[in-house]
Amino acid sequence: MTELLSNFIGGRWQAGSGAGTALHDPVLGDALVRVDATGLDLPAAFAFAREQGGAALRALSYRERGALLAAAVKVLQANREAYDAIATANSGTVRTDSAIDIDGGIYTLSTYAKLGESLGDRRFLLDGEPARLGKEPLFQSQHVQVPTRGVALFINAFNFPSWGLWEKAAPALLSGVPVIVKPATATAWLTQRMVQDVVNAGVLPAGALSVVCGSSAGLLDALLPDDVVSFTGSAETAALIRSHPAVAQRSVRVNIEADSLNSALLLDGEAPGSESFDLLVKEVTREMTQKSGQKCTAIRRILVPEALYGPAAEAIAARLARTRVGNPRNETVRMGALVNRAQLASVREGLAVLQAQTDTLHDGAGHALVDADPAVACCVGPTLLGTRTPDSADRVHDTEVFGPVATLLPYRDGAHALALVRRGQGSLVTSLYGSNPAALGPAALELAAGHGRVHVVSPDVGALHTGHGNVMPQSLHGGPGRAGGGEELGGARALNFYHRRAALQASTTVLAALAG
């Protein structure tokens, strides 16, 4: 029987009392490890994290907490190869795709370690300047932010078991808030192993970092008003979290990242083969195939002027045709597997929904799998769809296929293009391509209200931009509407979620002493 991974809660490793759920290799089909959270005393675990981990973290300054993050970075870097092996086996990703998750998580952690150094020896944050409350300047109001006295619960998605952990944990720990992470069951192994390595290295105080692998049953029940919860996943699950008594009645603060029909828009005035046209084609194919399209930020809709619909379809299809799909252990393979059979079925079902209103411009079924048995491997080739009637193709704007699928849409003019993008009802990111700065800037501002991030690519940054789907810790991650309405990262902005703001009304002498 496969190994049963332990949970780390209450300051010690604990195995669930059930048989556990097996995690599988999505290419070979082999059972790898098992996870189980049956029988855990979650209220006691949450109390330990609040009382032990929280108190220990709050006793430190931001600089000292940043040093803890830097120590964790060294631990993760020392075990880097083991993480890559787990990602290959459990997520079915090629090495470059595994690196996005693993190295991206470590980079984000190191970024917040440096931020802690810059915040210095404080244990709270000043929020703005003092404000006079009357005619005399002696009595004033100073807003401050202090760490919440609760725990941060993370319920994460399957596609980024490393980055999904550290992009949330880094600002939480830096803020002085202990973390309990519940990774998605399908890929929990990598998260559990990273937590294990950091815990065993002893770089964090007891109770600062915990992991629960398996069912999420009871996790929300253990939340108290000072706690916060951050969720990444489906809109359906997000709705359940928002309606839970912890949130609806006890006012637990919640951050949601949900579905997102992200767009890429080529502005008018470009010709086939121009630098901006080629940059769009390259980025679309990369986003469709990277991690087999299993990215919340991946491009799902591609908008081009009507005259470029045919050339864009040909150019994107030609690049997709060169993508070798199959076993990530084969060095010639550029796109690995979907995470499991359930995800494979979901992608096929969603693809059929979209194909009812679109044409197939490049059929992923034409890709022969490399070193993989089609009857076993959860692999599917990239598929490009298209429709010349984007206004009536409502499914394209309402259905996200979480895999290597995107739809090409033609637009009549600039106003039509912006209207089609907005049909997504709020997204994590949209990207703009063009060579006219006078047009790119205003278009970016027009779209900013409906997106957490607007990624503008012009020829001068063609070799420098960080990528449509690449989430950088310096920039905001989240989006309004369908995308969940949440906000993560954004440099120091991420700390706001883990702090409580209060107004201190006092004499200028007291406030000056407080400011230090």
CA 54 to mean position of chain CA atoms: 25
Kindly state whether residues 266 and 246 are assigned to the same domain: no
- Residue 248, classified by CB atoms within 10 Å of its CB into exposed (0-12), middle (13-18) or buried (19+), is exposed
425 and 291 in one domain? Answer: yes
Is residue 417 within 8 Å of 438, Cβ to Cβ?
no
Asked if 391 and 445 sit in the same domain, the reply is: yes
Whether residue 270 is found in the same domain as residue 149: no
DSSP state of 5: P
Specify whether 271 is located in the same domain as 251.
Answer: no
Runs of H (alpha helix) within 295-411: 309-321, 341-355, 394-398
Buried/exposed 223-243: b ≥16 CB within 10 Å, e otherwise: beebbbbbbbbeeebbeebee
Of 75, 74, 6, nearest to 34 (Cα)? 6
Residues 250 and 182 grouped into a single domain: yes
Can you read off the two tokens belonging to residue 95?
Answer: 């090495």
Q: Which are the contacts of 53, defined by CB distance < 8 A and separation ≥ 6?
A: 151, 178, 205, 206, 207, 208, 209, 210
Give the whole-angstrom CA distance, residue 399 versus residue 406: 11
116 belongs to a structural domain: yes
For residue 484, tell me if it sits in a domain: no
Under a CB-based contact definition with an 8 Å cutoff, are residues 429 and 401 in contact? no
Q: Which amino acid is at 21?
A: T
Q: Are 159 and 339 in contact (CB under 8 A)?
A: yes
Query: Three-state DSSP class for 37?
Result: coil
Query: Does 481 reside within a domain?
Result: no
Q: What CATH number should be reported for the domain holding residue 494? A: 3.40.605.10
**Of 409, 328, 314, 327, which Cα lies nearest the Cα of 362?**
314
Q: Are residues 357 and 472 in the same domain?
A: yes
68: nearest Cα among 204, 197, 163: 204
Asked if 499 and 444 sit in the same domain, the reply is no
Q: Are 376 and 398 found together in one domain?
A: yes
Does 242 map to a domain?
A: yes
Question: Domain for residue 482, yes or no?
Answer: no
Query: What pLDDT score was predicted for residue 134?
Result: 87
pLDDT in tens, the chain (516 residues): 799 999 999 999 999 999 999 999 999 999 999 999 999 999 999 999 999 999 999 999 999 999 999 999 999 999 999 999 999 999 999 999 999 999 999 999 999 999 999 999 999 999 999 999 988 889 999 999 999 999 999 999 999 999 999 999 999 999 999 999 999 999 999 999 999 999 999 999 999 999 999 988 899 999 999 999 999 999 999 999 999 999 999 999 999 999 899 999 999 999 999 999 999 999 999 999 999 999 999 999 999 999 999 999 999 999 999 999 999 999 999 999 999 999 999 999 999 999 999 999 999 999 999 999 999 999 999 999 999 999 999 999 999 999 999 999 999 999 999 999 999 999 999 999 999 999 999 999 999 999 999 999 999 999 999 999 999 999 999 999 999 999 999 999 999 999 999 999 999 999 999 887
489 membership: H or E segment, kind and range: strand 486-489
Strand 179-182 with 476-479, pairing: unpaired
Cβ within 8 Å of residue 13, ≥6 positions away: 6, 7
Question: Could you tell me the two tokens for 140?
Answer: 């004033």
How many Å apart are CA 310 and CA 242, to the nearest integer? 44
C-alpha–C-alpha distance, residues 416 and 32, integer Å: 50
Residue tagged 């809109």 (tokens): 235
Please tell me the distance from the alpha carbon of residue 58 to that of residue 148, in angstroms, as a whole number: 9
Residue 371 has a CB neighbour count (10 Å cut-off) of 15
Instruction: Put the strands of the sheet holding 427-433 in their side by side order.
Output: 359-362, 383-386, 405-411, 299-305, 262-266, 427-433, 451-457
Quote the CA–CA distance of 106 and 58 in Å, as a whole number.
23
The pTM of this model reads: 0.95
3-state secondary structure of 18: coil
- The residues annotated with a catalytic role in the active site are 257, 296
Domain enclosing residue 230, as ranges? 3-258+489-515
- Would you say residue 483 lies in a domain? no
pLDDT value at position 167?
A: 98
The SS3 call for residue 128 is strand
Report the C-alpha gap between 222 and 208 in whole angstroms.
Answer: 17
Q: Same domain for 85 and 159? A: yes
Burial class (CB within 10 angstroms; exposed 0-12, middle 13-18, buried 19+) of 174:
buried
**In angstroms, rounded to a whole number, what is the distance separating the alpha carbons of residues 443 and 453?**
13
Residues 250, 325, single domain; the answer is no
* Residue 344, domain CATH: 3.40.309.10
Euclidean distance between CA atoms 266 and 232, whole angstroms = 29
- For 344-434, list the strands marked E by DSSP: 359-362, 383-386, 405-411, 427-433
Of the candidates 72, 77, 247, 240, which has an alpha carbon nearest to the alpha carbon of residue 172? 72
Total Cβ atoms within 10 A of residue 138: 12
The helix (H) or strand (E) run that includes residue 235 is: helix 235-243
Shared domain for 156 and 271, answered yes or no, is no
Q: Is residue 223 part of a domain?
A: yes
Number of domains in the chain: 2
CA 295 centroid distance within chain: 8
